[in-house]
Amino acid sequence: MDLYFLRHGKAEPVFSDDSELTTTGIESIRNIARAIKALNIQFDQILCSDLQRAQETAAIIQEVLEIQIEIGSCTPLTPPGDCDDLLQLLKDTHRSSVLMVGHEPMISRTISRLISGDEQSFITIKKGSLAKVFIAEYTRHVRGSLEWLLTPNALMKILESKTSY
How many residues are present in the chain? 165
CA distance 26 to 161: 22
**Segments of the chain with pLDDT less than 70:** 14-16, 138-140, 164-165
Contacts of 160 (CB under 8 A, 6+ apart): none
Which pLDDT belongs to residue 140? Answer: 67
Could you write out the DSSP letters of every residue in 1-23?
-EEEEEE---B-SS--TTPPBPH
Nearest to 139 by CA among 100, 86, 96, 87: 87
Nearest to 80 by CA among 101, 102, 47, 61: 102
Instruction: For residue 146, list its beta bridge partners.
Output: 133
Q: What is the pTM of this model?
A: 0.93
Q: Which H or E run contains 150?
A: strand 145-150
CATH architecture of the domain covering 2-163: 3-Layer(aba) Sandwich (3.40)
Which pLDDT belongs to residue 90? Answer: 83
Nearest to 47 by CA among 78, 19, 17: 78
| Domain-wise residue ranges, the chain | 2-163
